[in-house]
Every structure is written in structure tokens, then in C-alpha cells.
Structure 1
Amino acid sequence: MNLTQLTSHIVTFMEYFFHAHLLIALLTYVVVAALLRKHLHHLKYRSISHEKVPFEKLNAPKISIIIPAHNESAGILESVHAALSTDYPNYEIIVVDDGSIDKTLHHLQSHFELTEQLRPTSSILTATAPKKILGAKEYPNLIVIQKAHSGKADSLNLGIQYAQGEYICCIDSDSIITPDALRKLVVKFINEPSLVALGGAIAPSNEIVIHDQKIVRKKTPQSIFVGVQIIEYLRSFTSWRTGWSYLDGLLIIGGALTVFTRDALVKVGGYRPEAYCEDLEIILSLHEYHLANNLPYKIWTIPEVICWTRVPKDKTGLKKQRIRWMWGALQSLSWHKQLMFNKKSFLIGWFSFPHIVFIEAFAPVIELLGLISLWACIVLGLLSYSSFFIYGLLIYAITGFYSWYAIATNDNYISSFDSLKQILRLGVIGLIEPIGYRQRDAYWRMIGWWRWLRGKPIEW
């Protein structure tokens, strides 16, 4: 076999490989899109409306909201006030200051007039001891724990230790939750007793402002850079994760807003301190524990609860985020590789986990191979330009369709946009995203792959 024949065989193999990968991805998108509608109908059909549940007259289960904060002086007060504005009657807020060296603790102390207090622990999830436990006189359900810097996961574990709620709500320090969020989330646990973790839809807060504790979108449009991330979040949270929830195959919930049963978190030992993507790792741990012990459980995301969080507004910040996400995903997937082809759950072992590994985690690798194959074909004169055009158009159409589908679902079920102009502008950005942005994002994720393979630590 000469070099030309060998090259031709390699090109043919790569062509079939890319076609198979695209077909599997397309079929998955179609299935998840269909299941999204069924899950939303399922929730609406089975659910007791949160407005109809008289929590004030019942013994409402207590929720502990845990907010880990490290150098978050710019937005910590806004986040805490948003949590305090909840209309749920039985909750507490625990802010864990993770060794901040800016004015995070100072702002909390001066604004809420904090004083030291004693508080018992209810479980042991970390060896880290608090330096101080502070309480607010005006807000008796607000406490602040000061500790040495040990990372977000360890801060969450310390917060869980001192939490007194039946449910644990973990949010980021820049998260802004709506006043009715806790009611909507608790109702889902009432409707489905086997639920152990529940997430809400996460949307970028760069485009909103708060007036009189009400969230209002800015009239001036955000940059295309932020708009592209809005599209990504809509696809991920409004559509993708909600669709997987119907199958009980959801493997990740955004860390900006997740509610757990306290019992489930304690049984898996809390968050793993060395995890870079603690939101993925904790969900995989819950799956692994419940499957190993043959326990009934459900893990869902619902789109009608929105948590606003700030996204990177420049290339440097987004690059660090995507490298960390990729590194952390590979770390967590390698820790829980026993979920692959797990006999206890056909869906998780043979569909959901293989999908997140081969379709999502390996996506930047496959895109890199595709670019290398493309240039090799051009140089060797083996490229079929008609096939290349059709293949590229198909990928573009799939991405565009899924973006518009996510926007339509958001507008139909959540209505988080104020005008048709905002929706159309976002739709146009969704059509621009596959050209340039996706390739840059794949390059950043390949950096995460390379650093993970080399065992090189990454910056937070």
C-alpha cells in the first residue's frame, strides 16, 4: 500500500467517524428537545402550584442557603439582600467568608452590624475550623462564618456543618435569586419525595439591574460577547438539562443554584475539596452512591426558577473559566469512571455518562482532529468541496436550530425577555456564534485537556 492509498483510507475513516459523531449528536439533540417538552408538561401536570401551598400556616421545612465567598466585596451585599428578600417563611442564610483579603468581610460586618455568637455543628464534613461565627441582630436568620482560605468546596462543607435546614441551597456569591425561588423549589421536593437534588435555570446577570428588589433588564444591549454566553446558558439550562431530567439522566447542575436534601449530602461526605468543578463532582457522587446502594432517587433541573449570575465580560476571564471547566470536568469524570456501562442503570451507564464523555468532553479533541483533517485534505488535494459545504451547513443549521429552540422555550415558559427586539437580537447572535467563537472556545478547552493530561494545576 503506497502513501496515497494509505492517506485515502485515513481520510475515508475520518469522514465516516465525523459523520457518525454528528449523527449521534443530532439524534441526541432531537431526543432531548422532545423530552424537554414532555418534562415541562410532566411537571405542570403533577405539580401543586407554589402559590397554593400555605407555607405560612404549615410546618414549612427549613432551608439553609449557603453562600461561599472569596474576595467578593463588589457584589456580596447585593447577593445577600436578594436571598433575604425571599418570600419563603422558614430559611437561614450562611455566608462563608473563605479567607478573603479584600473588603468582603468588612462590608458584611459594617452593613449588617455583625457580632460574634456561638453555634453548634450538626455533622462533620471538614477538618477546617471557623475563626469566627458572626450573627446579625436585625436579621437573626443570617450568620457569617470566617475561615482561612481552603477553596469553594471546603467552604460549602463548613457551611453544611453549621446548617440547621432540612434542605441545603448552595448558591454562588454573585448569584441573585428571585423572591419566589425557594417556594418553587420546595414544592418540587413535596411533589417528588425521591428527589435528592434540584437546580434552576441560570442566566447571566450582566444585562440586568435591580430596582426596589425587582430585576429589570438593561435597555442598552449587552455586547455580542455577553450575548453569546446568554445563548449558551439558555441552551444548557433551559433546554439541555431540563430534557435530561425527564429521563433521570442529568449528570450536572449549575453550582450557582442547587438545592439538596441534607441527608443526601451528608451520606456522600459532602463536596470533594480538591474538585475544580464541584457542581459536576457532587452530582456524579450522588448518582454513584444511590446506584451502589440500590436507593430510589431523582435529580432534576427546572427552568421556571431563574438564578442570575455574572459571566466573564472579557476574553481573559472567559478563557480562564473554560480551561478550568474542562480540566475540572475531566478530573471528575475520571474519578467516577465506574459509572461508565454501570449495570445498575442502563440510562446512566450506557447513554448519559458515555454521552458526556464522548460527545461533550471529547468535543474539542474531535474539533481539533476535524481541522487537522481539513487542512490535510486541502494540502493533498483530497477535499470534496461539495461534501465540505454540506457538512458545514448541516453543523451550522443544527447549532442555529438548537439556539432558536432554546430561545423559544425560554420565552414560552419563562418569559425573561421584555421585548421582541431583545429576542430577535439574541437569535441573530445565536446564528453568529458558530463562526469564530466556537472555534476559540474549543481551543481554550483543548488547553484544559493538555494541562489535565500533564497533571498541571490551573488557576481559579
Structure 2
Amino acid sequence: MDITALSSQVVRFMEYFFHAHLLIALATYIVVAALLRKHLHHLRYRSISHEKVPFEKLNAPKISVIIPAHNEALGIVESVNAALSIDYPNYEIVVIDDGSSDQTLETLKEHFQLAEYSLTHCTNLSKSIPLSAFSSTTYPRLRVIQKTHTGKADSLNVGIQYSSGEYICCIDSDSIITPDALRKLIIQFINEPTLVALGGAIAPSNEIVIKNGEVRRKRNSQSIFVGVQIIEYLRSFTSWRTGWSYLDGLLIIGGALTIFNKEALIRIGGYRSEAYCEDLEIILSLHEYHLKNNLPYKIWTVPDVICWTRVPKDKVGLKKQRIRWMWGALQSLSWHKKLMFNRKSLLIGWFSFPHIVFIEAFAPVIELLGIVSLWVCIVLGLLSYTSFFIYGLLIYAISGFYSWYAIAVNDSYISSFNSLQQILRLGAIGLIEPIGYRQRDAYWRMIGWWRWLRGKPISW
């Protein structure tokens, strides 16, 4: 067999492979998009709304809001103030200063008049021994624990360990939640007793300001760099994950805002301190534990509770983030490979987990193979330009449709815009996102793949 015939067969095989991958992805997108509507209908019309529950007159369950912070002096006050404005009668805020080398602790002392107090040891989720603990003399709900730097996952364990709530709400130190967030989240636990974890929608806060708990968008239009990340967040954190929730096949919740049943966290031993992608790892651990022990459970996300968080403003920060996400995802998926083809849940074992591995985690590898195959075909004169054009147009159309669909169904986020022009501009950014940006993102994730395969650790 000559080289031309062999090359032709290889190209044909790759063509079939890419077509199969595209069809599977497309079918999944259609199913998840349809189930998104189903889940929204279920949440809105088949359960008690938070407005109907008089929490002030009931013995409302206590929620502990855990905020891990490392060198967050510039934004920590704004985040804590937003948490203190929560419209819920029974909660506490525990800030974990994870060995900050800047003025994080001093800033907290200055703004919230902290006084030192003694901690009472509760559980053994973390081996870290706090250096000191403080409570606010002006805000009784606020406590601050100082410890050596051991990372976000271990800091969350310390917060859980010294919390007193029945439910644990974990938010990032650069994130801001609206006053009604806890009411909207906790009511889902009342509606569904088997719920063990619940996430909210994550949205970029670069173009908004929050005053007195109200979200106000800046008059100037968002930059293209931030705009493409908004599109990604709308597709992933609100649309995509909401659809998976309806199937009870959700495998990841954004770590910027998640609320857990505390007992469930303690049963699995909390977060793994060495995890780089702790939001994925903790959800996979909950799935694996409950399936192994035949316990009923549900893990959901709701799109109408928005947590506003800062996203990278330049390619240096974004590159570092995407490499860490890819490395951390591969780390967590390898830890929980027993979920693959798990017989106790056909959905998780045969659909949800294989999808996140072969469609999502392997996406940059497949994109790289596609680019290499394209250039090989061009060099050998085997490329059908008609097929290439049709295939490329189909992929572009699918991506553009899903971006616009994500914008259309996310009423809670779109309502923050000042004008139709800003919304249309965001939609236009969604149409240019597949050209250039997507390929760069795949390249960064391939770096994460390469470093993970070599066992090379990454920095935060």
C-alpha cells in the first residue's frame, strides 16, 4: 500500500471520528437545552417559592457562609459587606485568612473591629491548626480565622470544621452574592429533602457595581475579552449545568457559590486538600459516596441565584486559569474513575461521567487532532474544500445557536443590562468567539494536559 492510499484511509477514519464526535456533542446539546426548560419549570411551578416561607417566624436552619481568602486585601471588604447584607435571619460568616502576605487581615480588623477569641475544636476535617481567631464587635455574625497558607480546599475544611450551621455555603473571596441568595437556595433544600449540594449561577462582575445590594451595570459596554467569558459562563454555569440538574447527572458546580448539607460534607471527609479543582472534586466525591452506600441524593444548580465574581482581564491571567482548570479536572477525574460505567447509576456511569471525560476533558485533544489533520490534508492534497466549508459552517452554527440560546434563557442575568444594544453586542461577541478565541483556549488547555501527563505541578 502506497503512502497516498494509506494517508487517504487515515484521513477517512479521522473524518468519521470527527463526524461521530460532532453528532454526539450536538445530540447532547439538544437534550440538555430541552431539559433546561424542564428544570426551570420544575423549580418555578412545582415547589414552594422563597417568598412564601416566613423564615423570620420559623426556626430557620442556620447557614454558615465560608469565605477563604488569600491576599485579597483589595476586595475582601466588599465581599464581606455583601455577605453581611444577606436577607436571611439565621446565618454566620466565617472568613478564613489563608496565610495572606498582604494586608487582608489588617483590612478586616480595621473595617469590622475584630477582637480575638478562643476556638472550640469540632471535627477533624483539617490538620491545620489556626494561628488566631477573631470576632467582630460591630457585626456579631462575622468571625475571622487566621491560619498558615495551605490552599483553598484546606481553608474550606477549616471553615467547615469551626462552623455551627446545618448548611455550609462556600463562596470565593472575590465574589459577591445578592441579599436574597440564601433564601432562594435554602428553599430548595426544604422542597427536596435528599438534596446534598446546590449551586448558583456564576457571572462576571467586571462590568457591574453593587450598591446597597443592588446590581448596577456600568454604562460603558463590556470589552470583547470579558464578553467572551460572559458567553462561556452563561453557557456553562447557567444553561448547561441546569439541564444536567434535571437528569440528576450534574458533576460540577461552580465553587464561587455552593451550598451543602454539612453532614454530607463531613461523611465524605470534606475537601481533598491537594485538589486543584476542588469544586469538581467535591461533587464527584459526593456522587461516589452516595452511590457506593446506596443512599438517595440529589445535586442541583439553579440559574436564578447569581454570584458575581471577577474574571481575568488579560490573557496572562486567563491562560493561567485555563491551565489550572484543565490540570485540576484531569486530576479529579482520575481520582474518581470508578464512576465510569458505574452500574448503580446508569446515568452517571454510562452517560454523564463518560461525557465529561470524552467530550469535555478530551475536547482540546480532539481539536488539536483536527488542526493537525487539516494541515496534513492540505499538504497531501487530500482536502475536500466543500466538505471542509460545510463542516466548519455546521460547527459555527451550532456554537452560535447555543450561545444565543444561553443568552435568551438567562433572564436573571440579562436583566442587569441597561439597554438592548448591550445585549445585542454580547450576542455578536458570541458569534465571533469560535474564531480565534476557542483555538487559543484549546491550546492553553493542552498545556494543562501536557503538564498533567508529565506529573508537573502547577501554581495558583
Distance 2:55 2:232 in 1: 35
The answer to whether the 8 A contact 2:216-2:416 is kept is: no
Give the alignment's TM-score, normalised by structure 1: 0.99
Shift of 1:349: 0.2
Matched position secondary structure for 2:216: strand
Matched position secondary structure for 1:320: helix
Shift of 1:215: 1.5
Distance 1:58 1:22 in 2: 51
Distance 2:57 2:370 in 1: 61
The equivalent of 1:251 in structure 2 is 251
| Residue 240 of structure 1 pairs with residue 234 of structure 2 | no
The equivalent of 1:68 in structure 2 is 68
The equivalent of 2:450 in structure 1 is 450
The answer to whether the 8 A contact 2:239-2:406 is kept is: yes
The answer to whether the 8 A contact 1:304-1:414 is kept is: no
Distance 1:246 1:337 in 2: 23
| Residue 433 of structure 1 pairs with residue 433 of structure 2 | yes
Matched position secondary structure for 1:56: helix
The answer to whether the 8 A contact 1:238-1:409 is kept is: no
Give the alignment's TM-score, normalised by structure 2: 0.99
One-letter identity of the residue aligned with 1:365:
V
**Which has the larger displacement, 96-105 or 46-55?**
46-55
**Which has the larger displacement, 27-36 or 211-220?**
211-220
Shift of 1:129: 0.6
One-letter identity of the residue aligned with 1:407:
I
Equivalent runs, 1:208-247 vs 2, <5 Å: 208-247=208-247
Shift of 1:213: 3.1
Matched position secondary structure for 2:150: coil
The equivalent of 1:89 in structure 2 is 89
Equivalent runs, 1:364-383 vs 2, <5 Å: 364-383=364-383
One-letter identity of the residue aligned with 2:302:
I
Matched position secondary structure for 1:100: coil
The equivalent of 1:277 in structure 2 is 277
Distance 1:57 1:72 in 2: 37
Distance 1:48 1:138 in 2: 35
Matched position secondary structure for 1:427: helix
Shift of 1:413: 8.2
Distance 1:422 1:11 in 2: 43
Distance 2:212 2:308 in 1: 16
Moved over 4 A (4+): none
Equivalent runs, 1:397-436 vs 2, <5 Å: 397-411=397-411, 415-436=415-436
Matched position secondary structure for 1:417: coil
**Which residues of structure 2 form unaligned runs of 5+?**
none
The answer to whether the 8 A contact 1:228-1:429 is kept is: yes
Shift of 1:273: 0.3
One-letter identity of the residue aligned with 1:370:
G
The answer to whether the 8 A contact 2:407-2:414 is kept is: no
CA RMSD of aligned residues (A): 0.9
The equivalent of 2:317 in structure 1 is 317
The answer to whether the 8 A contact 1:133-1:143 is kept is: yes
Q: Output one character per residue of 1:177-209: Cα deviation in whole Å (capped at 9) or x when no partner.
A: 000000000000000000000000000010101
The equivalent of 2:294 in structure 1 is 294
Q: Output one character per residue of 1:16-49: Cα deviation in whole Å (capped at 9) or x when no partner.
A: 0000000000000000000000000011122211
Shift of 1:122: 2.5
The answer to whether the 8 A contact 2:414-2:423 is kept is: no
Distance 1:324 1:437 in 2: 18
One-letter identity of the residue aligned with 2:363:
A
The equivalent of 2:99 in structure 1 is 99
The equivalent of 2:170 in structure 1 is 170
The answer to whether the 8 A contact 1:202-1:309 is kept is: yes
Q: Output one character per residue of 1:193-242: Cα deviation in whole Å (capped at 9) or x when no partner.
A: 00000000000010101223322011111210000000000001221000
The answer to whether the 8 A contact 1:46-1:191 is kept is: no
The equivalent of 1:343 in structure 2 is 343
Distance 1:280 1:416 in 2: 28
Distance 2:418 2:268 in 1: 42
Shift of 1:255: 0.3
**Which has the larger displacement, 47-56 or 20-29?**
47-56
One-letter identity of the residue aligned with 2:201:
A
One-letter identity of the residue aligned with 1:130:
P
One-letter identity of the residue aligned with 1:284:
L
Flag the 1:346–1:122 CA change in 2: closer, same or farther, 3 A.
same
The equivalent of 2:360 in structure 1 is 360
Shift of 1:414: 6.4
Shift of 1:109: 0.6
The answer to whether the 8 A contact 1:410-1:416 is kept is: no
One-letter identity of the residue aligned with 2:295:
L
One-letter identity of the residue aligned with 1:105:
L
Distance 2:314 2:430 in 1: 18
The equivalent of 2:146 in structure 1 is 146
Shift of 1:420: 1.1
Distance 2:427 2:141 in 1: 42
**Which residues of structure 1 form unaligned runs of 5+?**
none
Distance 1:366 1:178 in 2: 39
Distance 2:54 2:412 in 1: 27
One-letter identity of the residue aligned with 1:347:
L
One-letter identity of the residue aligned with 2:395:
I
Q: Output one character per residue of 1:43-82: Cα deviation in whole Å (capped at 9) or x when no partner.
A: 1122211111000000000000000000001100000000
The equivalent of 1:8 in structure 2 is 8
Distance 1:413 1:172 in 2: 19
Distance 1:454 1:413 in 2: 40
Shift of 1:417: 2.6
The equivalent of 2:57 in structure 1 is 57
One-letter identity of the residue aligned with 1:273:
S
Q: Output one character per residue of 1:235-263: Cα deviation in whole Å (capped at 9) or x when no partner.
A: 01221000000000000000000000000
